Each structure stands twice: as structure tokens, then as C-alpha cells.
Amino acid sequence: MADHVRSDAGAASRRRFMQQAGAGSAAVAAATLGLAAQDAEAAPAFDASYDVVVCGSGCGGLASALFARWQGNSAVILEKAGSIGGTTAKAAFWYWVPNNEAMKKAGIADPKPDFLKYVARLSSPQTYDPAHPRLGLTPWEYDMCSAFYDSASPAAELLAAKGALPYRHVADVPDYFAELPEDKAPKGRVLVPKDAIPSMSDGGLVAVRTMSTKARQDGIPIRTGIRVTKVLQDKSGRVIGVEAKDELDATVRLRARKAVIFATGGFTHNAELRKNFLNGPIYGGCAAPSNEGDFVQIAGPLGAQLRNMNYAWTCPIPLEKAIAKDGSISGMFSVAGDSMLFVNKYGQRNVNEKLQYNELAQTFFEWDGAKAEYPNLVRIAVWDQRSQQHSASAEYGRLIVPPGTDDRHVIKGATLAELARAIDERLAKYASATGGAKLALDFLPNLQAAIARFNQLAKTGKDLDFQRGERIVEQLFNGDVKAEPGRSNATMWPLADAGPYYAALVVAGTLDTKGGPKTDTHGRVLDGADRPIPGLYGVGNCVASASGRAYWAGGATLGPIIAFAYRAANAAHAEGRSAT
Amino acid sequence: MADHVRSDAGAASRRRFMQQAGAGSAAVAAATLGLAAQDAEAAPAFDASYDVVVCGSGCGGLASALFARWQGNSAVILEKAGSIGGTTAKAAFWYWVPNNEAMKKAGIADPKPDFLKYVARLSSPQTYDPAHPRLGLTPWEYDMCSAFYDSASPAAELLAAKGALPYRHVADVPDYFAELPEDKAPKGRVLVPKDAIPSMSDGGLVAVRTMSTKARQDGIPIRTGIRVTKVLQDKSGRVIGVEAKDELDATVRLRARKAVIFATGGFTHNAELRKNFLNGPIYGGCAAPSNEGDFVQIAGPLGAQLRNMNYAWTCPIPLEKAIAKDGSISGMFSVAGDSMLFVNKYGQRNVNEKLQYNELAQTFFEWDGAKAEYPNLVRIAVWDQRSQQHSASAEYGRLIVPPGTDDRHVIKGATLAELARAIDERLAKYASATGGAKLALDFLPNLQAAIARFNQLAKTGKDLDFQRGERIVEQLFNGDVKAEPGRSNATMWPLADAGPYYAALVVAGTLDTKGGPKTDTHGRVLDGADRPIPGLYGVGNCVASASGRAYWAGGATLGPIIAFAYRAANAAHAEGRSAT
């Protein structure tokens, strides 16, 4: 990598950065610092200097910068993408806040010991022990979950009080395992941005708008197109800034007097990391396209430990959009339709289609150790005209979409036989991405048998095979269905005996991944000996989540992000470095 | 960590090391080298100096040292444990060698393109594409598999020719997916140490004996009780040696003029790494107890990339021995007995018990996303007096053991009801290690029904539910069963209507893990930018295997280890550093 900082391009880059950043007090800090041996020759001058340099402009970055700023620190936000908001801008932005103020007002108790039992029961089911002092969690997991409980509500309240993120309470949304005996507060922990529409699907756009507006009001520059490539350390190993590339590939270097906070997202869009770390074949996901695992790569040379690399916040996604790397892709949070079922390439229905999305996606990983294949690698959603007519929606990643919306993932057939032919053609087109998945020779009769069995069960409203619709969360995400007064199970209805029929190819994806460098409860990135790397912080999906494989509830991603942004900013503020 | 090298303890340690190493030509190299900044203050003197320092004394370490020595290099082997051989000493030591000389003599063709198709089909089934130039593998995966094919046979031949590892050909052992159309050489790739007993279970002991004898004959000191803690680099980043602790916790430093080669095994016995990387809950395994992931920790600060961290060479293991960290534990390579079945805590039979061990273990990871549990986390093997009498053996990790051998994992009952009570008591004892796994209230009737169904299928010899015994590999590992002339399926026989009955608790384990620092095809450890870390090599389970999730055949661990030991030693020999 050429050292552009001394070149004309570098000077132009500095000027450009400073102009964009509206630099005044944050004037060029040209001091040449004592860097570690490998950087000594570069003798970098910094293009600008802040107390806190935040990388990433999703919720984690925005909140970290705001919390740091409100304590009197100067801060800047660097965003790799050309627009702000990261994955947050695509999210519904439910945020799961234990023991929140609205719960207290509503008289819903959420004591910490009970909360931690619910969390531990789901995050580490194979070691969960209610009698154990840490409930069977490792010390790190326990401490992180405990810190989340402590700080989520104070963080949410401060964001609301400052006008950065006013919220409303969604008292009736259940946790995803609300029926577990360990869940003593099964409803009440979910907040959403105040001005989100009633369906709440635009919460992320609202949050990015309110938080970024507040950031700008409070003097936090947000710079897009700045791709951080490297963390700079002084001779002692303290992190003193970052090196980045701007849109024109010129190098910029920013000094961080107190801390660099990474909030750059996970590795959803890095196929190499996905394949080498995740617990099953994942085809991409609805994380921002810029979530390419940058912090895994950047923190590696610093000796950071990686943790929870095997799990992700998973959800099913349509195959075609995943392969196309369509930035608009949404996870299938809602698998809509009552006269709708999933089959695999053998035409077998072998899953509860309404399983909560994280759990549903995990069923795609099932492995057949005799055939040496993933029999459910690509599942086929099949629905009829009834569901097409009554359950179509463009929200929450539904496969059944209204006329006029992007429906390139939808396969159509006047009969089931025609549909099967069309499915096979579509599969053939994507064979190189699926290990050659194609329909079995007896797919059509098996599909017909699967539909007959499903219809039989649907008539009774009782899914004896896969218990569809029996859990609270499955009804939550059922979407609109045609009213059928008096029926007992709103998630099931027999498919019509005649076409047209519709289908779509579904694979496993992520909202984003869960693994990355390990941090302590203050967001400080830890080295191999569990010592903080001085001045380096991480928040959100770019660092290791202590949730293990669990998806506790809607907003289980953003609740901890807000809590740890708060904790990281507080710790960064306390870093004892004086301004140069 | 105190710098003991200057202390009396350090001097004593040096003397001790040199005495043990029989140092002559490898005299103390007291030169103080220019080390990287963080080591400069330590100003280490080296206690001894070799061309190649090898860490680990299993097959990977022994072979690397021998290959390096035979090219004229001085070499030493450092072993953390108190005795030599690592996991190899516990292995049957089949080694899978494509296109080996014995195959050629027997007229069995094994052309490289076909071999690579079989390997790719199993290692990356979700991307396998026979028409793709790399068969759907990543460039790294393809190159590594290609290098394995090229070097396994030359390496095996050289070891045999030198007398370090004479072999015999096991022409009738099939690959584990011998029936796949991609396997054009389904038998013939397996070699075993020449003097192994007919059952081949002691191959590892034979190999360690012959290889270590040869090493000592050829002047390679093998030092036990030396725990390498750190790799030492010079200012340029070149690896110049290691720092280690001896049995008395004194520091020793060894200079490596050409290379340090790690062959220290995986992270089977590091619960933290298992939990944060593997694709399911693993309880330990039959890797040497010293396989604690040392190289993951040591290579981290050097900026090495980690790859294939999600997969392991898996096998079922008995719960009690895993929890006890019993160093004698063996993987259940052979699930013996015909009148024997597995059920889960619900009393359900839901697996083909004779699945090849790696695949069988993976079925323990199945996840129930509605109940939020691993329903098969602990499976229960149940057998009757017939199997006890005719299938007992102390070899290959069988659960059914003969009188007089360690049978603390065996649970007994005169009736099924008594057996169920005893199982529940045993499970209660281990509740804290299993997330509280206990028998369902209807376990006994379900078990009775499962046995009735199994017996019905066994009478016909056709397992309509799980296809037990239908694949070649399942017969290979069936073990001894009572002769029943004329029956069609030697893996199944009805359980007796009357007791006594026997049971054992089974969980998922490993032979060892598959992930670690990424190397190139010459065993050179790569940094985050795919640049070799000069002078640093890795071989075997301590580095990333390109096999993905696949267990291609018996010996799929040791075949590549021998190939890459050969390639690493050749590359290390060529390192252009002159002796000091």
C-alpha cells in the first residue's frame, strides 16, 4: 500500500476530508507521533484529530458517538458505504430493553436474576444450570449479559431524553420463547422508534434519521465513503487513530486522542469467513452490503481473540436475491400465508414453516450423513391463489408480494406439474451455487402427497407433524390471512385443488453475524491474554456477542448494541489521555 | 512473565535442556539477536540452536523433523506432554494415501482429476460443481487438496524406504463414501503401519515407535515436558525461534535458523474454543489431553488467519469419560452390536446407529427450534445380553466391553423399567454438564415402542426407518456379531424380550478439531494478507484443514499430515538462512 499521505493525492485527500468535516477546532494535527516499529518509516501526519473516532454509522456507531459527545468529547463517524445507516437503515429497529422504564410504569416486573435465567437458558442450553452461580454461562458470557441488563435501559432513556431516539413501548410483542418457564416477563421488553409506522417495519429509517440529525446538531461530522483499513498504535501498543481510504482511494489518517470505536457490522457479505466459521451454509443476508467482516481482518494483526464465530442472527432469504447480492434483500421475518407450505427438493414437507425466523433458518443446515448432502439446502415455498390474494405484502421480507413489486423470485404454474417444471428450470439456472440441487424424480408425486397431508391437517387446524402455529411467536409473524371466522389455527388453510400455484426458492441467510473480536463489558477489545488493547473498542455485530446461538426476542440485536455503545462511550470518555 | 533466562533458574533450565538434548554441535548460541521492539528489552540468549525446531511429537512432528533431518538439517522435537506421540499414539493410524504405490502395483487407477472430484464433492457439497475449474472449491481449498494428492505417496514412500514407517496395504478397506459416483477408487487408498496387529487398532503405537526410533537414530532429540509459549521474531518479522517452559516452569529459548514447524494438534480439550467455534456442542474427544489449542493462541498475536474453525473430525464418545477428561478415552469408531439401538431422552430412535462415526456424531447437533433444545444432545445406547456376549471388545472405542475392562459407562437393568430408572439416575448425576437432560416422563413406553419397531425391522433385515447397514462403511465398523447364517443384514437383530439389558450415555466428541491458522501448500503460516509469516510452519490438526466438513475415508487425518509434513520440511530446508 503506497503511503499517499505525502503525495499530492494525499494532500488533496486531507483537504477534502477537512472540508467535508467542516474542520475548525478539529484542525490538522500534524504532529508526527512515535509509532510502532513497522509504522515508523511511514511517519504519518494525521489529517484530523478527535477524542473519539467511531467507525460505522449504524445504530452502534451513531449511539457511541452521541454518548461520547454528550460527555464533552469531540467525535467523528466514518462510514465505508456511500450512505449512512448501515444495517440499521434496513431494520425494523425493534430494540429489546430489559426492565425498561415503560415496563416499570406498566407494572411489569423484570428482575435481573430471572432475566439472566431466560438469557442463559437460550444462549447455552447445553450447559444451562439454574443452580449454578453463573447459570452455566462462562464468566465472559455471564458478565456481558449482566452488563446488557444493567445498561440497556439507561442507554435507551438517555437517547430518548436527548431527542436522539424517542421511543414507544410495544407492550404486546412477545419474546421469541415467551412460553419458556424461565421467561418471567414474556412481553414488554420491546421498544421501537416513536415515529415508526404502525407495522413498525420502517423503524430503522426513523432511528437513523433521528440519531444522525442529533449527531449533526451536536457537532459530530459523519463522513461517508471512508473505508478504515488499519488501526494505528504508538510504541506502547496504545491505539492512537486509524488509517483509511477515501472515495478516491487516497489515504487519510485520523487521530483518536481517547479511543477508536468500531461499530462496523459483521461478516455477512464475506463468503470466505462465512464458510470457515458459521455453523452451516449461509448464502448472504440482509445486513448492509458493506458488512464484509472488516473488523475481523483489522483486529487480527492486533492479536484480538475471536469469539462466538459459529453463530449468526439467521433468517431465511430468497435464493435469487442472495446470489445477486441484491442490497435491497430483506430477511424473511414473516413467512406469510396460510395456504402455503415448504417442501425440499424431494417434495417432502419437513419443517414448521412458521418457526421464528432464526430457528427456521437453522433447519436448512440439516445434514444427511449417508447421502452426504444438505437435503434442505434449498427449500421451496409453495402457495396458491388464496394466499397470493390475501397475504401479499412488501414488508418484513415476505415471499408473497403484491402486484407491481419486485417478484423475480416468484415462480408460477397453472398446475402443480407446470409449477414443478418451472421450479426445476429455476434450480438448474442456479446449480453452480447450490452444489447442483435439483428436484428429485419423484418430486411431483411427493409434493402432491405433501399438500394432501397438509390440507388434511389444515382442515383440523392441528399440525400433528410439525406443530405449526402453536407458539405465540408464530402467530406474531403470520402476516395477513383471509378471515375465516371460527377457525382454530390462523396459520393453516388447505391449498386449493386447482391453480394457479406459486413457488419461491428459499435458503438460509443472516440479518448479520454474531462473531468477532472479544470485548470486555466496557466494549474494550481484548487480546489473547484478555488484556484490553488500549484505546480500541468494539460495539455491535462487528464484535463477539455473548448470546451464543440464541435469538432471545425481537430487538435482541439492537438492545445490546445500545447498551454497549453506552458502556463503550463511557469507558472511552474516561480514558486518561489529554488532548494534544 | 518473568524473564527467567537471566536468573539462576534459567541457567539451570538451560543446563538441563542441553544435557537432555545431548547437545554437542548444537551448542548454546548465546548471540543476542535483534528482536522486535516488544522483545528488545528481554535481550534473549538462546539455549540451543537448530535449523528446524519442531513443536509436537505426533506423526506430524515426527515426520516433519525426519524429512528435514534427511535433507541435512539439524532438528529438535519439543513435546508439551510428559510422553511422546500425541494423538498419534492413541490412533489406529490408518493413513489415506491417494494413488499410492501399492495401488499402482495392484492395478488400481487413481487419477488426480477423479480424486479431486470425490474430495470436492464431500468437502464443499453446497458449492460442488464438476464443470467448474476448481470444482467449486475456493482457490486455497483446491490447491491444498491438490498438494495433498501430489505429496502423500512420495512422503509415505520416503518414510517407508528410510525405515521410519514401513507400511502394509489394506486393499479391502473402503472410503467412507465409497458408493458415491465421484469415487473412482473406492478401495485401496489406505495404508497402515506394517507391524500393526490384524485389527490395526495399535497402528499409532507402532508408528510412534518406528518413527521416534528412527528420529533418535538420526540425531533428532525429542524433548518432553517442553511447553512452547511464544514464537520469537526478529525486527523484520522473521521467526527465529521459540520460547518455552520446561517441566519446572523455567524459560528456555531455542533458536531456529531456518524454521519453526508447529504440529501441536487441535483444540479438542479447550472448552472455550470449542464453544466459540465448532458447529455444535462437543464434549471433548480422544485427541491427546495436551491438545488445548496452543497454536491458535500462539499464532494469534502474529496476525495469522484462522480457517475451517467450524468443523472437526467428529465421533461419538461416552459422556462419563468425556466429563472425567479421561485421557484413555477413545472415539466410538465402531458402534458394535446387532441387537442394539440408540434412543434419545424421549425414548425415540431417530438415527442410523451405524452411520460412519463422523456423520453419526453430527446428528447429535440437531436443534429443536421450538423447544430450544438439542433433543439428541445425550443419546442412550441400549443393548441386550446377546450383544453383550457376542459383540464385546475393548477396541475402537466400543461401548460394549468385555468383563474385566473399564465399564463404568455401562448402565444395567434386569428389565427395561429398571434400566430406565438407572439411566435417569445416571443422567441426574451429570445434569450440570448437559443442561439438565433427563428422561421424558413417557421414556419407558416410548423405548418399548422403539424396540418393538426396531425388532420388527430387524426380523426383515431392512431398516425402513433409517437404512441401517445399507452402506459399505456401516458393515466395516459393525464389529463382531453372533453368526446367524443366511441373514441379510448383519447390523440388526431383534433385542431379547427379557433382560438383562445394558445402556450407555453417548455424546458428540472429536478425534480432534480441523481449524487453526491458515497455511499455504508448503505449510507456511499465512498472515491476514495471505503473506507467509517468514520461518513459521504448521502441519496437522493445529492448522486449518481444507477438508471442510468432510471425512473422506479412514486415514483422512493422517494421510494429509504426512503429505504436508513432507512439503513443510522441504520448504523449510530451502529457507535461505545460513547457520550462525
Q: pLDDT by residue (tens digit) across A466-476?
A: 999 999 999 99
User: What are the grid coordinates assigned to A269, written together?
Assistant: 457479505
Helices of type H across A87-138 = 101-105, 112-123
Check B37 against A235: CB less than 8 A apart. yes
pLDDT greater than 90 at residue A43:
no
Instruction: With a cut of 90, say whether residue A494 has pLDDT above it.
Output: yes
CA distances from A525 to A238, A294, A518, B534 (A): 12, 15, 6, 27
The shortest C-alpha distance from A476 to chain B (Å) reads: 14
How far is residue B538's CA from residue B171's CA, in Å, rounded to a whole number? 31
CA distances from B321 to A502, B336, B374, B412, B436 (A): 53, 18, 20, 17, 18
B369 and A377: CB-CB below 8 Å? no
B377: chain A residues, CB-CB within 8 Å? 126
Domain total for chain B?
Answer: 2
Residues 6+ apart with CB under 8 A from B442: B346, B347
Cβ–Cβ < 8 Å for B343, B439: no
Query: Which pTM does this prediction carry?
Result: 0.94
| Residues A211 and A239 grouped into a single domain | yes
**Contact state of B360 with A369 under an 8 Å Cβ cutoff:** yes
Residue A49, sorted as left (phi over 0), alpha (psi -120 to 50) or beta, turns out to be beta
d(CA A353, nearest CA chain B) in Å: 11
pLDDT at B33 over 50: no
Of A24-38, A318-332, A538-552, B52-66, the range with the lowest mean pLDDT is A24-38
Instruction: Identify the pLDDT of residue B27.
Output: 35
Q: Which residues are paired to A254 by β-bridges?
A: A48, A242
Nearest CA in chain B to A467: B370
Query: Are the beta carbons of A74 and A48 closer than 8 angstroms?
Result: no
Closest CA to A366 of A380, A356, A376: A376
Are B416 and B518 within one domain?
no
Q: Which of B128, B310, B473, B519 to mutate to test the interface with A (most CBs of A within 10 A)?
A: B310
Average pLDDT over residues B154-178: 97
pLDDT digits (tens, 9 = 90+) for A90-102: 999 999 999 999 9
- As a three-state string, the secondary structure of B320-334 is HHHHCCCCCCCCCCC
Which residue in chain B is spatially nearest to A307 when comparing CA positions?
B276
Same domain, B439 and B567: no
Q: Residue B241 corresponds to which amino acid?
A: G
Q: Which of A295, A310, A366, A518 to mutate to test the interface with B (most CBs of B within 10 A)?
A: A310
Is residue B120 domain-shared with residue B87, that is, in the same domain? yes
Are residue B457 and residue B478 in the same domain, yes or no?
A: yes
Q: What span, in angstroms and rounded, lies between the C-alpha atoms of A218 and A69?
A: 8
Residues of chain A found within 8 Å of residue B276, distances taken between Cβ atoms:
306-310, 515, 544
Pair B90, B215 in one domain: yes
pLDDT given at position A422: 98
What is the ipTM metric for this complex?
Answer: 0.93
Under a CB-based contact definition with an 8 Å cutoff, are residues A3 and A232 in contact? no
pLDDT tens-digit series, residues B520-560:
999 999 999 999 999 999 999 999 999 999 999 999 999 99
Of A510, A540, A572, the residue that ends a domain is: A510
A326 & A377 share domain: yes
In this model, does residue B317 exceed pLDDT 60?
yes
Neighbours of A403 (CB within 10 A): 7
Position B44 confidence tier, pLDDT thresholds 50, 70, 90: low
Contact B359 A367 (CB under 8 A): yes
SS3 content of chain A, % helix, strand, coil (to 5): 35, 20, 50
Rounded average pLDDT over B397-414: 95
Measure A164 CA to nearest chain B CA, in Å.
35
Query: Are residues B124 and A435, on separate chains, in Cβ contact within 8 Å?
Result: yes
CA distances in angstroms from A510 to A314, B275, B455, listed in the order given? 4, 20, 44
CB contact under 8 A, B122 and A372: yes
Q: How confident is the model at residue A576 (pLDDT cuts 50, 70, 90)?
A: confident
Query: Cα separation of A456 and B68, whole Å?
Result: 70
Q: What is the mean pLDDT of chain A?
A: 93
**What is the per-residue pLDDT across B411-470, written as a single tens digit (0 to 9) for each?**
999 999 999 999 999 999 999 999 999 999 999 999 999 999 999 999 999 999 999 999
CB B432 to CB A359 under 8 A? Answer: no
CB contact under 8 A, B129 and A431: yes
> To probe the interface with A, which of B128, B231, B277 has the most A CB atoms within 10 Å?
B277
Structural domain that includes position A478: 316-510
The model's pLDDT over B330-345, given as tens digits with 9 standing for 90+, comes to 999 999 999 999 999 9
Nearest-CA distance from B83 to chain A in Å? 28
Q: Which of A510, A530, A565 is the last residue of a domain?
A: A510
**Both A532 and A413 in a single domain?**
no
Top-confidence residue, A37 or B57? B57
Name the average pLDDT for chain B: 93
The three cell numbers locating residue B551 = 471425512
In sequence order, what are the residues at sequence separation of 6 or more whose Cβ sits closer than 8 angstroms to the Cβ of residue A31?
A45, A46, A580
Which of B38, B435, B549 is facing A128, going by the closest CB pair? B435
Q: Report pLDDT for A16.
A: 61
Chain-chain contact of A432 with B360 (C-beta, under 8 angstroms): no
B179-222 pLDDT tens trace:
999 999 999 999 999 999 999 999 999 999 999 999 999 999 99
Q: Chain B contacts of A544, Cβ < 8 Å?
A: 276
Cell of B89: 499414539
By mean pLDDT, which of A361-365, B4-8, B290-294, B486-490 is the weakest?
B4-8
Tally A–B CB contacts below 8 A.
156
For residue B576, the model assigns a pLDDT of 72
CATH code: domain of residue A464: 3.90.700.10
| Amino acid symbol at B425 | E
Please indicate whether, in this complex, the C-beta atoms of B471 and A370 are within 8 angstroms of each other: yes
Number of helical H runs and strand E runs in chain A: 16, 18
Residues A180 and A104 reside in one and the same domain: yes
Q: Which chain B residue's Cα is nearest to A432?
A: B129
Return the closest-CA partner of residue B43 out of B100, B3, B83.
B3
Closest partner residue to A352 among B36, B278, B370, by Cβ?
Answer: B370
- The runs of H, that is alpha helices, within A278-396 are 294-299, 319-323, 357-362, 385-391
Task: Say which amino acid occupies B138.
Answer: T
Q: Which of B131, B369, B374 sits opposite A359 (nearest CB)?
A: B369
* CB < 8 Å to A433, chain B: 127
Instruction: Report pLDDT digits (tens) over A243-263.
Output: 999 999 999 999 999 999 999
Contact check, Cβ <8 Å, A275/B362: no
pLDDT at position A8 over 90:
no
Residue B574 has pLDDT above 70, yes or no: yes
| CATH number, residue B43 | 3.50.50.60
- Closest CA–CA distance from residue B352 to any residue of chain A (Å): 9
Specify whether A364 is located in the same domain as A301.
no
Q: Cell 517441566 sits at which residue? A: B247
Q: Count CB neighbours of A81 within 10 A.
A: 21
Interface test with B, best of A140, A277, A377 (most B CBs within 10 A): A277
**Domain end residue (candidates: B510, B529, B564):** B510
Terminal alpha carbon distance of chain A = 28
Band (pLDDT 50/70/90 cuts) for residue B16 is low
Share of chain A above pLDDT 70, in %: 92
* Residue B501, beta-bridge partner list: B384, B413
Closest alpha carbon to B522 in B262, B242, B144, B231? B144
Q: What is the pLDDT of residue A278?
A: 98
Q: Tell me which residue has cell 410483542.
A: A173
Nearest Cβ partner of B279 from A279, A358, A431?
Answer: A279
Query: Is residue B142 within 8 Å of B521, Cβ to Cβ?
Result: no
Whether residue B165 contacts residue B207, with contact meaning beta carbons closer than 8 Å, is answered with yes
One-letter amino acid of A43:
A
**pLDDT digit string (tens) for A413-428?**
999 999 999 999 999 9
Answer yes or no: do B48 and B173 share one domain.
yes
All cell numbers assigned to A559 = 438492545
Q: What phi and psi values does residue A243 have, to the nearest 5 degrees?
A: -110, 140
Helix and strand numbers (H, E) in chain B are 16, 18
Statement: residue A580 has pLDDT above 50: no
Percent of chain B at pLDDT exceeding 90? 91
| Claim to verify: residue A440 and residue A504 sit in the same structural domain | yes
Nearest-Cα residue of chain A relative to residue B123:
A372
